Amino acid sequence: MANAEDEMVVNNQRWPMKESYIPMHTNQPSTIIYPPNTAGNFNLTPQLLNMVPNYHGLHNEDPYLHIKDFFELCAMQQIQGVTLEGIRLHLFPFSLKDKAKIWLNSLDAGPITSWEQLAIKFLKKFFPAQKTRLLKREFQTYQQEDGDQFWETWE
């Protein structure tokens, strides 16, 4: 039998001390507050989840293109009793992987109540203002080189 020092008492039960160092599984509060009455109506099938585009948060990925692809998928979905906003809010976390998923999970619980809020936070994180300024400067300072066809330059 273990020493009294090696045991602790929880709810009038004795537990070995080593048990207190094992993290308990708890439900993490969601970053997203879903629209009312959508949880019971929403069924995510494996086929639907396989169709969701992935965004990893890498510097060479285009967050605007990701949202465009994501919108196209959501527009094809019709779930009785669930609005398009609800579909987007439920599916978007499944589109995020790696760094992007870590970012979403690091947000405070419950601040996002609409698709617009989620999209703004996503774009602020993965397409920051300095990147916009850099691209704008590239466009403004671009010059057509000698021998370049106008239509190629324009494209």
**Complete DSSP assignment for 48-113:** HHHHS--B---TTS-HHHHHHHHHHHHHT--BTTB-HHHHHHHHHHHHB-HHHHHHHHHSPSS-B-
Amino acid at 135: L
* Token representation of residue 132: 């916009």
DSSP symbol at 19: G
Q: Tell me how far apart the terminal alpha carbons of the chain are, to the nearest angstrom.
A: 79
pLDDT at 111: 79
Is the per-residue pLDDT at 32 higher than 70?
yes
pLDDT at 6: 54
pLDDT at 148: 75
Calculate the average pLDDT of the chain: 79
Facing residues of 15 across strands? 8
Is the per-residue pLDDT at 37 higher than 80?
no
Average pLDDT value for residue range 110-127: 89
Residue predicted with more confidence, 143 or 9: 143
Gap between the Cα atoms of 101 and 34, Å rounded = 18
